[in-house]
Structure 1
Amino acid sequence: MTVTTVTPAKARSPLLLVGTALAIVYVVWGSTYLAIRIMVEEMPPLVSAGVRFLTAGVLVAGALVVRGGPGRLAVTRRELLGCARIGLLLVVMGQGLVTLAEYGGAPSGITALLIAAVPLWVICYRVLSGERPAGRTVAGVAMGFGGLVVVVAANGLGGAFPVWTMAVVLLAGLSWAFGSWYQPRIELPRDPFVVTVYEMLAGGGALTVIGLAGGERFDPLAYSAGAWAAWGYLVLFGSVLAFSAYIWLLQSAATSLAATYAYVNPLVAVCLGWLTLAEPVTVPTLAGGVVVVLAVAVVVRSEFRPANPGPTDRRRVR
């Protein structure tokens, strides 16, 4: 297991800010699965998701310009390309595929349970990159994938969850995990909010083009107030607030800490989907979901177990 000294920037990250950012990601992202399901009942999935992120990117960029002037958005070509790559992984392949899956009939709660495996996929990428996680971490990953198999089997074999949408959600989780693992390893702007702007603009633009090229059309006058309310919630809370908080966490704390959102998101999503849309929740699904969440807890707890406790602030990272 790699142990590295925390950089001064990370060491200075106020505990209150880290806790606030985590709380936002925990609760808000858990509710976005329901908002996406409501939005795609009327709006085309890829274009609506693309316009969502384009709008959020413009709003965050405007706020940065007001506070720091246009110069705050200045980046190098290398940094811009880095943001575009992460935008492809997180926004297009991650959020975009989740939106497409829910449009295809994937229940919001079960989608969140499958996405909860993201921290387990992150460990797999670390192993493939040559790291050797602790035995407890490996055991947690194995347990988590066992729970994942239970969730998939319970809903794919005669369940109400279309099989192709499960494959899409799993691919979205793989992409989101790779983007989370990859982001701290490439050259990006030092300001995490500038990173957020360019990732959302690049990803939102790509989603919009892909959707339009695929025949989707965005007709603002054809959608109900409920669909617009869900879309607006996703822009302001899901993208501007929560996505910005997540990108800030990736640059200000260990990736393993940022990934703990997977504890809470499924619980919030399952409860909201059941209460609001009467989405079915079977015993096998709950059992498999509990196993996945417990496995993530085991993995993250193992990641935070220091190898050489001492006066130096050291922690396991990424």
Structure 2
Amino acid sequence: MWEFNVEERKKITPAGLINLLIVYFVWGSTYLAIRIGIRGGSGFQPFWFGGLRVLVAGTILLLLGVIRGKVIRPNKKDLKVLIASGFLLWIGGNGLVVLAEQRIDSGIAALVVASTPIWVALFESILDKRMPSLLLIGSLIVGFGGIIVLSLPLLTSGVRADILSILAVMLASFSWSAGLVLQTRQPVSLSRGVSSAYQQLFGGLFFALIALLAREPLPTPTTEAWLAWGYLVLFGSIFAFTAFVSALQQLPTSLVTTYAYVNPVIAVLLGWLILREPITPWTIIGGLFVMIGVTGIFRVNNKKAHLDQESSAGEKQREG
């Protein structure tokens, strides 16, 4: 999950850095695992693949919450937020990526999804009814320009399936961002791990419903596809998520959020090394534009957070 908060300074610890490296590599490699798990001949259809993954991962995370003594019973308001955000994050966000990666390279998918902070910033600006700063406007233009550059080869290919796939990834980034904004503005009373468990469980139920309505055949996966699926469950949804939560507790948030820059680079390199996915000038230029746009968004959010802190400190001094 993407974070935009600036907090008090924390010491950089070896344990924190190890957790961050885990997040870098594992979340960066999930796009490759998805591609391997649902490409032609894998035996997995996209919605069964995504649904079984999050149902199993959500169940494990919920059991971990019980073992750790966390509150696991959501109230009515929590339930509404968890169902809605679970749909936006996992069906819209992850499901469309899984669907698209039947056709497009894992690295391209990762770079387009890396634009998520740009969409979040746009949503926040609209919801807050505030005029965006010049830096925010420039970052949005550069970031969306990068998405266009990345997408041009597929959009101009004339192949309908390729065009629909790249549009699906764009919509996935949009949906994931909407889910993040929703859960940020409507916080629930549960812990991060338990909330994620419910989001994945509800997402899994939606996945299963869509798979049944679409009449997807039951999975008959190859060994390779099972390994990719298992990697996503154990490492992508549980191990790396736990490392991410630990890293947030052990390191400055501004350092942890650098995974937004590193993950797509790892995804592109792994796709090139393992699946021989091409790295073209379009990939490099478009990816750079997206990363520059994301950098600008983080600068805007960091500056806003610092101003909020100064304003809060000033109010406390006046009250004192």
2:115 and 2:290 in contact (8 A); partners too: yes
2:11 and 2:250 in contact (8 A); partners too: no
Q: Distance in 1 between matches of 2:173 and 2:250?
A: 22
Corresponding position of 1:55: 56
Corresponding position of 2:136: 137
- SS of 1:73's equivalent in the other structure is coil
| Structure 1 residues 65 and 18: CA distance shift in structure 2, 3 A | same
Corresponding position of 1:127: 125
1:257 and 1:300 in contact (8 A); partners too: no
Q: Distance in 2 between matches of 1:124 and 1:259?
A: 18
Q: Compute the displacement of 1:49 (Å).
A: 0.5
1:144 and 1:293 in contact (8 A); partners too: yes
Match of 1:230 among 225, 228, 231: 228
Q: Distance in 2 between matches of 1:145 and 1:14?
A: 35
Q: Compute the displacement of 1:254 (Å).
A: 11
Query: Is 2:101 the partner of 1:83?
Result: no
- 2:114 counterpart letter in structure 1: A
| Structure 1 residues 49 and 270: CA distance shift in structure 2, 3 A | same
Query: Is 2:98 the partner of 1:65?
Result: no
Q: Compute the displacement of 1:263 (Å).
A: 0.9
| Structure 1 residues 22 and 86: CA distance shift in structure 2, 3 A | farther
Query: Is 2:241 the partner of 1:240?
Result: no
- SS of 2:71's equivalent in the other structure is helix
| Structure 1 residues 167 and 135: CA distance shift in structure 2, 3 A | same
- 1:196 counterpart letter in structure 2: S
| Structure 1 residues 86 and 24: CA distance shift in structure 2, 3 A | farther
Q: Distance in 2 between matches of 1:15 and 1:176?
A: 30
Relative to the length of structure 2, the TM-score reads 0.83
What CA RMSD, in Å, does the superposition of the two structures yield over aligned residues? 3.2
1:34 and 1:273 in contact (8 A); partners too: yes
Corresponding position of 1:169: 169
Corresponding position of 1:153: 152
2:31 and 2:267 in contact (8 A); partners too: yes
| Structure 1 residues 167 and 193: CA distance shift in structure 2, 3 A | same
Moved more, 298-307 or 20-29: 20-29
Q: Distance in 1 between matches of 2:191 and 2:309?
A: 31
Corresponding position of 1:100: 99
Corresponding position of 1:184: 184
Q: Distance in 2 between matches of 1:122 and 1:21?
A: 25
Query: Is 2:197 the partner of 1:200?
Result: no
2:93 and 2:175 in contact (8 A); partners too: yes
Q: Deviations over 1:140-190 (max 9, x none)?
A: 111111111111113322388811001100000000111112211114123
Q: Compute the displacement of 1:75 (Å).
A: 1.7
Corresponding position of 1:29: 27
Q: Distance in 2 between matches of 1:108 and 1:172?
A: 14
Q: Distance in 1 between matches of 2:11 and 2:206?
A: 35
- 1:173 counterpart letter in structure 2: S
Corresponding position of 1:210: 210
Q: Deviations over 1:257-287 (max 9, x none)?
A: 8764331121011101111111122112211
Relative to the length of structure 1, the TM-score reads 0.84
Q: Deviations over 1:185-231 (max 9, x none)?
A: 11412311110111010001111111122011223xx3222111100
Moved more, 53-62 or 285-294: 285-294
Q: Deviations over 1:101-122 (max 9, x none)?
A: 112x111000111111111111
Q: Structure 2, unaligned stretches of length 5 or more?
A: 315-320
Q: Structure 1, unaligned stretches of length 5 or more?
A: none
Q: Distance in 2 between matches of 1:182 and 1:226?
A: 36
Q: Deviations over 1:271-307 (max 9, x none)?
A: 0111111112211221111111122112212321333
1:31 and 1:268 in contact (8 A); partners too: yes
| Structure 1 residues 64 and 190: CA distance shift in structure 2, 3 A | closer
Q: Distance in 1 between matches of 2:181 and 2:60?
A: 27
Q: Compute the displacement of 1:132 (Å).
A: 3.4
Calculate percent identity across the aligned residue pairs: 37
Corresponding position of 1:295: 293
1:118 and 1:259 in contact (8 A); partners too: no
